[in-house]
Structures are given as C-alpha cells and as structure tokens.
A and B are shown apart, each in its own frame.
Chain A
Amino acid sequence: MKKKPNYGELAFFVVFLLFSVAMFLQAIKFTPAGRLFPVIILGTLIVLLVIKVISILNPKVASTLDAEPVLQDTPLSEGEGGEESGERNPQATFRTELYMIGWIVSLVLLVYFLGFMVAIPIFLFAFLMVQGKHGLKVSLVTTAAVYLGIYLLFVVFLNASFPAGRLF
C-alpha cells in the first residue's frame, strides 16, 4: 500500500523553502563582498529543502537518503519523553501544543503591553489555574513565590531595569 506523505511536515518544509527563496532573492541584491556567504548558504539551503520536499512526497527517495537515525532530538510526543500523560491521543496532544504556543505568545504580549512586573504574576496565575488546573491555593502560593524570587534576583540584586508596558 502506498504510504501517505505527512502533510504537516510537507507544509513546514514548503514554507521553509519559500522563505529561503525570498531571502535568496534579497541576498543577491547585496554588494559582492556582502552577498558571497549568504548566497552560498541560502543556495545550499534551497537545494537541500527541494530534496527534502521531494523525499516527503516520494517516501522511496526518503528511504535512500536517510538511514536509521542515530542521533536526533525526537520530540517527546514520539514516546521517548517524560512520564506520559495517560489517555492523550494525537489530536489532544496537538491541541495542547497549540495552547502552549498561545500561552507563550500571550506572555510576550503581556510583557510588551503591561510590563514585566505586571505580566509575570498574571501569566503565572492564569497558566496554573487554566492550563495546569491547579487549585487556587497552589496557584497563589507558586505565583507569589516565583514573583518574589524574580523580583529579588532581577530587580533588587541585578538592578535590572524592566521596562514599563505600553499601557502602563
């Protein structure tokens, strides 16, 4: 039976390829000295990505290119990882991964709009309550402890000047 290509992987490498082509088109406009390395590197990257896309579309090519991996950092979702979460299925895992990306982006946005010292407790408390589903007590204590630690280390000891947010 013909093996179906992994469309997620295909999309990733196609976008990567398009990005590399766009960068290559920028690179050829640089001065001769400035473009030498970028053109060589991006040209190589484009060739490699074309081969990769072909290998995804035609798994026969893939099998001739890649032997059994010896060293790679497989994602934990492949079963190599930590204590597994029991009843997780691929859709649930994918959903949680998207939520996590959302959390991380929201942390950056909070920092940008509210500033570090406001964003950190809000993010911690919300994450622990909503994503972690921990109780109010655990969430409050953890948030307070981490906030105090960060304040003492970065503000008191390091004298770091965390910028205020755009809104405050």
Chain B
Amino acid sequence: MLQAILAGVAEVFSWPTFLYVMIGSAVGQVFGVLPGLSGSIAMALLIPMTFGMSAAEAMALLGGAMGAVTFGGAITAILFNTPGTPNNAATCLDGYPMAKQGKAGVALGAAATASALGAIFGLVVLTAVIPIMRQIVLAFGPPEYFMLAIFGLTIIASVSEGSFLNGLIAGAFGLFLSMIGLSPVAIDKRFTFGTLYLWDGIELVPALIGLFAIAEMINLVANSKSVSRTGTVVKGGILEGILSVFKHFWLFIRCCVIGTFIGAIPGIGGSVSNFVAYAHAVQTEKDGKFGQGDVRGVIASEASNDSKDGGALMPTLALGIPGSPTAAVLLGGLLIHGIFPGKQLMVDELPLVFTLVITLVVANLYTSTVGLLLGNWLTKITTAPTTILAPIVLVLTTAGAYASRNNLGDIFVAVIIGIMGYLMSKFQVSRVPVIIGLVLGSLAEQSFSTALQISRGSYAVFFTRPYSLALFVLTIVGAIYPFYASYRKRHKAPGAAEN
C-alpha cells in the first residue's frame, strides 16, 4: 500500500497533473462561493475537459473541484447568511452572527482551518479503512437508513431548544415539504397543485436560497446599513480563528468522526452531517452561546462537511455506490475513463485511488490557504451598503437557483419559500428545522417502506439488527436529552440565584 501512496504523491506533483489540481480547485472554489451552483455541477462541467486526459489527470481535475467546493460555500454562509452549498447550511447559524458582530475574520479563519484539517482527517480514515471498506458499507440497509433519518430528526429538538414548539412546527413543515411530489412508495402525486414541476418535489437548492438568502436580504435592507453591526471589521481575527480550532480540538475531532461516518453512508452526505455535528456541539458544549456567534458552531459544521468527502469515497470506490452527489459525478468520471469501482480499483488501480486522495488533500489546503489570504479582504464586504449588496445577491442567487437545474420553477419556489422564511424569522420560528425535515423526510419514508418490504411487514427489523438498534438507542437519547438538559437548567437556576 505504501508503494501505491508514493505513486499517488508522485503523480499529483508531476506536470501537468498539478496544474489540473489547481484548475479544478479554483473552479470548485468559485462554484462553492456561488449559491445554487454545487460541486456536482462544477465537476459535471469539467468532465468533458477530461476526455483527452489520462485517468490520473482526470482524477486530479475532478478531485480538485470536489475538494475545493465546500470551503467556498462557507465564505458566503459566514458573510451573507447564504450557504454556497447545502453542506454549509449549519455554518450560517453561528458564522453569520459572528460577521454581524464584526468577527467575520475569526469565523473565516476557523472555517478554513476546520475545513482543511477535517478533509485530511476524512481522507486519513479512508486510507486506513480501505482494506475493510466493503464490510462496513454493506452493513447499512434500509432499517439503518430509517433509524438514521429518525435520529437526524431529533436534531430539531436541539436546534430549537427554548422555543421547542416553534422548532417542531418548522420541522414538521420541512417534513411536509419533503412529501411533495410523486410518492416514492405508491402511485400518488402528492400536493402537486396540478403542476408538472412539483412532481419532482421541492429541491434543496431553491429551498436553501429562499429560506436563507432571500429572507435575509429582506431583513438586511429593512433593518441595516451593512451586514456588520458595527460597520467595521475586527482586524487580526483570522489567526484567532485558526487557533480556535486547536483550542476546541476535541470537539473538532468528534465532528470529523461524525462527518466521515455519515459521509460513508450512501445517499446521506454533507447536508445531513453538518446539522448532526452542529447539534452534537450544541448538546455537548454546555457553556456555548450557539446561534449567537459561537465559533464552535462554525468549527463543528465545517469539520464535518469537509471530512465527509473521505467517508463518501468509501462506498464510491469500494462498491460503486456514490456516497454524495459529488461522488456520483466522480464515479461517472471514473467510468468514462474505463475504471470500474470495486476490486479493479481497490486492487489493480490502487495508485489511482491515492492520486485522488492526495489531490483532495492538496485542493483543501489550497482553498483554505486562499481563503485565509483573502480573509481580511473578504470581510470588508460585510461593511458594504446593504442596498448595493442585496440586489447583487438577489440576482446571483436567482441565476444560481435557475442554473442548478435549468428550471424556472426553482426561482418561483425559492421566492415563495423565501417569503415564508422571512415571515418565520419575523415571528421567531427557526428556519433550520425546515431544512432538516426537508432533507430527511423522504429518506425516512422510503427506507421505512423498503425495510418493511424486506421484513414482510415485521417491525422487529428495526430493533434486531445491531446498527439499527444502536441508532435507535441514540435516537432515544437524542430526543430525551434536551428535556433533561432543560430540566437540569431549571432546577439549577434557583440554587444559582441563591448563591
């Protein structure tokens, strides 16, 4: 294996492969920054350019884009409350409040460091588990998917602590949105209002753009002259942000583990992992002021969404089952070049696997370094007048919403959900549970139905398989914990007051 690693390193740093890594990274970063344009779109556009390349060069170009896109999305999440990709949605929760407090530099520094180190963590795990990858991936079936989705839904309890009722309403609304479209388990066209467009359901990209970008632009123009509350940015915050990752290193590691684990489960991906990691931070970091500009919220989200790439490559490379949309496009790139996942790739073409791994490491380091170098300059955007910023963000997100699927209907959905998001934020209903419900609803329904088909209608299937049972126990703990924490807080408070 060492030989294969060395061959991978040599390939990445050879000419012109290294140039392709840089081009892929630059394209990925630009696509990450632009809301609506995801890594999978960037990679799909790059695929035709790889036709004349060797397989290793193609992996360098595509891997560069794959590795770079997620941190790019953190930049807009922090500066404008607009996640560049769905994987950065949880970064908004604390990153944007930090930008409003003039601490965008700290948030960017923390995001860049957590992203780069998180990605490296995921890739190290990938390298370590290559020999046993097949068994791990095959252990997950529909019952485990269902339990994982239900476990993810308990996050709603964590992210809406204190206004639990509003959080549940928002979560249920998100679940309802996920039910729109052709039923995955029956022949029903559900809540389509007679339109063909809604047969495919509500896409995540326009929902994110509406809930966060459009709703926030309404608030910004109505209430502020600039994103930064003080109208100035705190200088020197980048270093503080970098150091904060090491200050909270144990949290960082835990979130990397969460990201890698969830990334390895096909079909789940970063849009779930960042919320799970964020909720984990909220639950375990007792002294945190999450949602009000706590750097740990940024670290949790960014560590998990970048470490998930290593996890997502496990089922992709071992079984040909993509762990994320970007991994799916990468798989397409592999197949175009005559490389088949599974035994051929993992045994005969192992140096190619490491070319991809090293490319991802280089791409992450490159984008994080660029982000850090430009950090102080980027934070100045938060002092720009909102009446200039808002229309630019609006046209860019509108174009992005359209370009993600070339569908005008996505713009209408983004605007309708945006107005709903604005009303929700006005009446203090958190928008985050909507996204969690939207992401997990159809997964829960589909896997529930498939699991029951497999077990011929027996519900025991959810409790007799070890991973499913473990997830069930975690779900119970996750659901009860916020109530327990709230109970403890209430009973501690009078004592604290007496002291």
Residues of A within 8 A of B (CB): 6, 8-9, 12-13, 16, 20, 23, 26-27, 30-38, 41-42, 44-45, 48-49, 51-52, 55, 65-77, 80-86, 88, 93-94, 96-97, 100-101, 103-105, 107-108, 111-112, 116, 120, 123-124, 127-128, 131-134, 138, 142, 146, 150, 153-154, 158, 160-163
Contacts and interface: CB of A to CB of B under 8 A. Distances in A.
A101 B183 contact: no
Contacts of A108: 398, 411-412, 415
Interface stretch (B171-179, B251-259, B342-350): B171-179
A55 B218 contact: no
B231 A83 contact: yes
A91 to B, nearest CB: 11
Nearest to B173: A45
Contacts of B412: 108
Given A31-B188, A70-B290, A12 B427 contact: yes
A101 B250 CA distance: 44
A162 to B, nearest CB: 7
Contact of A77 (B168, B223, B418): B223
Contact of B183 (A34, A49, A103): A34
Contacts of A27: 190-191
B166 interface: yes
A71 B291 contact: yes
Interface of B: 30, 34, 37, 45, 93, 97, 100, 159-166, 168-169, 172-173, 175-176, 179, 183, 185-188, 190-191, 214, 217-231, 282, 290-291, 382-383, 385-388, 390-392, 394-396, 398-399, 402-403, 406, 408, 411-412, 415, 418-419, 422-423, 425-432, 441, 444-445, 448-449, 486, 490
Contact of A38 (B100, B179, B386): B179
Counting chain A CB atoms within 10 Å of each CB, the highest count among B30, B224, B382 belongs to B224
Contacts of B164: 65-66
A13 B429 CA distance: 11
B489 to A, nearest CB: 8
Nearest to B485: A70
A89 B51 CA distance: 60
12 contacts: A16-B173, A33-B183, A37-B444, A71-B162, A72-B163, A77-B222, A80-B100, A81-B223, A86-B225, A111-B408, A132-B387, A162-B399
B226 A82 contact: yes
Contacts of A93: 222-223
Contact of B388 (A38, A48, A67, A132): A132
A9 B408 CA distance: 31
Given A67-B162, A82-B227, A100 B291 contact: no
Of the candidates A6, A104, A158, the one having the most CB atoms from chain B within 10 angstroms of its own CB is: A104
* 6 smallest beta-carbon distances between A and B, as pairs: A82-B224, A132-B387, A34-B186, A34-B188, A71-B291, A69-B162
Nearest to A124: B391
Given A72-B291, A73-B93, A83-B225, A107 B190 contact: no
Given A35-B188, A103-B394, 18 more contacts: A31-B183, A34-B190, A37-B444, A67-B162, A73-B432, A76-B220, A82-B224, A82-B228, A82-B386, A83-B224, A83-B383, A86-B225, A104-B418, A111-B402, A128-B391, A134-B388, A160-B402, A161-B406
Contacts of B391: 103, 123-124, 127-128, 131-132
B427 A9 contact: yes
Nearest to B382: A82
B403 A112 contact: no
Given A82-B100, A82-B227, A83-B226, A150 B415 contact: no
B65 to A, nearest CB: 13
B183 A30 contact: yes
Contacts of A74: 425, 428
